[in-house]
Amino acid sequence: MKRNLTYYFDILTILICVAGISLSIFLINLGIVMLLVRIFFIGSWKEKLENIKSQKKILLVLLSFFFLHIIGLIWTDNLSFGFNELIRKIAFLVVPVGILSMTDIKKEIIKIGFGGYVISLFIGTIWGIVNLLSTDYPNLRTLIPSTSHIRFSLNLVFAILVIAKLFSHNYKTLSLAIKILSLSIIIWFITYLILTQALTGILILSLFLIIYIPFLLIQKHKNKISYIVLSLYIIAISLSCFWLAREYKLFFTPNKVYSQPLLTKTPLGNDYHNLKEVKLIENGNYIYLMCNFEELEASWKARTGEEIGENFNILLRYMNSISPYKDAKRFDELTDKDIENIKNGIANKAYTEKFSLRGRLYKMFYQMNSFKETGQIVGSSELQRVELWRNSIEIIKENFLYGVGTGDFEKEFADNLCKSNSQLCNSGYKSHNQYLNIFVTFGLLGFILFLFWIIYPPFKAQLSTNYFYLAFAFIVLISMLTEDTLDNIAGRMFYIFFASVMLFNSRTIKEITSSKV
């Protein structure tokens, strides 16, 4: 391969793009600028036009999504917001043309780019783990402050699946050092997903493996080892289900003390409050049974010198996660660390377990129970999504064919939440579902074009059965069920960059591994 200035500029551009997708919005924007430079100022225009001509159908389809946003301005009222939306979505215009302007990206450049991608992700995981371990009360959403934690988890899942395929496909030719390195990276990335409770990434990876592994083992490798692996796989799934069922039972099964008559007096002789009509349960204990509010308030003030105020419910729930009795005697048994936890808004001792999914699971259980008993959805990301989806469907019914237009989505969404007296009124949230988001904005016709935009290119490029593209598409399509994946710059770049690289260089992608799914 001829290595001139253009060659090195292309490598640098790709490395900056993958580093940005992994870690930094600034690098994403820099990558887009470099692609613009590549389009207009670097390389032969003759080669660029030949590339465009040879790939014109795929290119036009990829660009159609950006053009749809332009067309959506015709029936929008808020043109100012609509034009801002075009600027935000400029990657859908620049990236496909920029990638196509690079003359047939060779296997060597793709390998360098993927290596840079994995290194960037590894740096991100180290950054995140350092923040996790160095902070007593880490915010798992901001462990890597320069990027979205959900988008980062999607990148990790993609890297895991690609490395695993390359490992298995080239196992016989890999050196021992590369084998150890590959397995170590896979294990480390999975460990990071678990430690940071990246539920979206964990669920997408698990769902892919649930579908793919039995297919792979049964359909393509019918031997004793395959059936042993399949058996271990089934055992692993069974153990996971058993753990989930066990934790559910521990959380929702009432403590044995409730099978006896409820105590009516605290150890100090004061009356217990037994609010039997409130069925909120947590860690097997009913929150509003056998509790004395006055004793807890007085004990808190005596120990901390402060009024408990708005944190009273946190104190009550935290004590309830330890014991069914909430009174002065049990308060005195709390450690200084417990008091610090309560001051920092931790409502269940299980939430303090850093290296466990139990805390995340218990939050979901509590939110489910709280919604069932009180109808409360604020604070529950899962239940809030359901409310946002309901709001989206209501808007779709009123704007079924053409949608609300490019510039009116946010206003219509916010207005409809308040109009329906939703608890999420003035929250600023959107649909948290990319499919509904598109339907609300562009209606049925735009939604059909969106599906064509996603589905047609891999078939045209003959990548519809290619493992790498299918794994990538699976991650994106599943993530869009619960996230506005393409409304976040990291999500937009993740999709359009990797899709463009693979679609416009399908021959090279297929050469990396000749096998299909």
pLDDT of 516: 54
Burial 27-40 (b: 16+ CB within 10 A, else e): bbbbbbebbeebbe
Which ranges constitute the DSSP H helices of 312-433?
312-320, 328-332, 336-343, 358-374, 381-398, 409-419
Same domain, residue pair 98 and 196: yes
pLDDT of 168: 86
> What total number of domains does the chain contain?
2
pLDDT of 4: 81
In a domain, 170, yes or no: yes
In a domain, 249, yes or no: no
In a domain, 248, yes or no: no
Q: How confident is the model at residue 511 (pLDDT cuts 50, 70, 90)?
A: confident
The stretch 410-422 carries a mean pLDDT of 91
Summarize pLDDT for 57-87 with one digit per residue, the tens: 999 999 999 999 999 999 999 999 999 999 9
Domain end: 298, 325, 352, which one?
352
In this predicted structure, the answer to whether residue 14 has a pLDDT above a threshold of 60 is yes
Same domain, residue pair 280 and 233: no
pLDDT of 40: 94
- Locate 282 and state its tokens: 């947590």
Same domain, residue pair 276 and 327: yes
The stretch 22-38 carries a mean pLDDT of 96
- Which range among 40-54, 419-433, 445-459 has the greatest average pLDDT? 445-459
Summarize pLDDT for 145-192 with one digit per residue, the tens: 999 899 999 999 999 999 999 998 888 899 999 999 999 999 999 999
In a domain, 61, yes or no: yes
Give the domain range for residue 274.
258-352
Q: Which residue has the tokens 């006055």?
A: 294
In this predicted structure, the answer to whether residue 230 has a pLDDT above a threshold of 80 is no
Same domain, residue pair 215 and 342: no
Domain end: 352, 374, 400, which one?
352
In a domain, 69, yes or no: yes
> Which of the 8 DSSP states describes residue 394?
H
Same domain, residue pair 231 and 300: no
Total H helices, total E strands in the chain: 22, 2
In a domain, 370, yes or no: no
In this predicted structure, the answer to whether residue 335 has a pLDDT above a threshold of 70 is yes
Same domain, residue pair 211 and 265: no
Residues 319, 331: Cα–Cα separation, whole Å? 7
Mean pLDDT of the chain: 92
Summarize pLDDT for 191-201 with one digit per residue, the tens: 999 999 899 99
Same domain, residue pair 270 and 233: no
pLDDT of 113: 96
Same domain, residue pair 288 and 173: no
Same domain, residue pair 68 and 150: yes
Summarize pLDDT for 238-261 with one digit per residue, the tens: 999 999 999 999 999 999 999 999
Residues 388, 222: Cα–Cα separation, whole Å? 46
- Locate 143 and state its tokens: 């462990």
Summarize pLDDT for 436-468 with one digit per residue, the tens: 999 999 999 999 999 999 999 999 999 999 999
Same domain, residue pair 28 and 86: yes
Residues 463, 471: Cα–Cα separation, whole Å? 11
pLDDT of 105: 85
The stretch 215-236 carries a mean pLDDT of 73
Of 93-97, 308-312, 364-368, 509-513, the one with minimum mean pLDDT is 509-513
Summarize pLDDT for 80-130 with one digit per residue, the tens: 999 999 999 999 999 999 999 987 788 899 999 999 999 999 999 999 999
Same domain, residue pair 153 and 266: no
pLDDT of 215: 79
